[in-house]
Amino acid sequence: MIRKTMRNFLISRRTRLVTKSVETGQTLLEVALLTPLLLLLLVGIFEVGRFAYYSIEVSNAARAAVQYGAQSLADAKDTPKISLAATNDSPDLSGLTVNSTVLCACSESPSSYVPCPALGCTGHPVVFIQVDTNATITPFFHYPGFPTTFPVNGHAMMRVAQ
């Protein structure tokens, strides 16, 4: 009786040890297989967040430039300072291009823009400034099937104070 109980105890103990080592090996294998996938997912999330940040930077640069140009008619035509306002607002971006355009509209139809001066208006002409900003973002890692650079664009338009 004691011998039978002792033998059953030893067999159950050996079975538990073998089962535990198999479970440990299975866990190690699962971690080894999932770690590269999780790292790839983490890098992808980092890149998408980085692109979103630069997209916001380019849009904010356009907004800062148009706010500078909308202060007066003289500022609306000062292209170097408009570009400087955009560049100062986005110091993290290199290679930012800024294009500003002065447009006019008639007060009776302010949604149809024409180059200044607006001729043939029955009311008074209204002046607008439009700023487009562009930058090119390069990802940290090259992903097969994706381009090596991504263009990012910003656009802002505002009425000029007269």
Tell me the residue range of the domain where 149 lies.
13-159
User: With bands split at pLDDT 50, 70 and 90, how would you rate the model's confidence at 69?
Assistant: very high
* 2 belongs to a structural domain: no
Is the separation of the CB atoms in 56 and 152 below 8 Å? no
User: With bands split at pLDDT 50, 70 and 90, how would you rate the model's confidence at 13?
Assistant: low
pLDDT at 60 over 90: yes
Average pLDDT in the 152-160 region? 92
Q: What is the mean pLDDT of the chain?
A: 83
* 1 belongs to a structural domain: no
* Helical axes 2-69 vs 79-89, angle rounded to 10°: 160
Short-list 151, 114, 145, CA closest to 130: 114
Percent of the chain with pLDDT over 70: 81
pLDDT at 49 over 80: yes
pLDDT at 131 over 70: yes
* 8 belongs to a structural domain: no
Q: What is the pLDDT, as a whole number, of residue 8? A: 61
Short-list 117, 140, 139, 141, CA closest to 127: 117
Q: Dmax over Cα atoms in the chain, in whole Å?
A: 116
List Cβ neighbours of 152 (8 Å cut-off, separation of 6 or more): 51, 54, 55, 58, 134, 135, 136, 137
Q: What is the pLDDT, as a whole number, of residue 16? A: 58
70-126 pLDDT per residue, tens: 998 888 888 999 999 999 998 888 889 999 988 888 776 666 777 677 676 777 788
* 76 belongs to a structural domain: yes
Q: Which residue has the higher pLDDT, 13 or 83?
A: 83
* 109 belongs to a structural domain: yes
Q: What is the pLDDT, as a whole number, of residue 22? A: 60
Residue for token pair 């263009």: 151
Q: What is the pLDDT, as a whole number, of residue 66? A: 95
Amino acid code (one letter) for 151: P
* 93 belongs to a structural domain: yes
Gap between the Cα atoms of 17 and 129, Å rounded: 77
Distance separating the N- and C-terminal Cα atoms of the chain: 107
Total domains, the chain: 1
* 45 belongs to a structural domain: yes
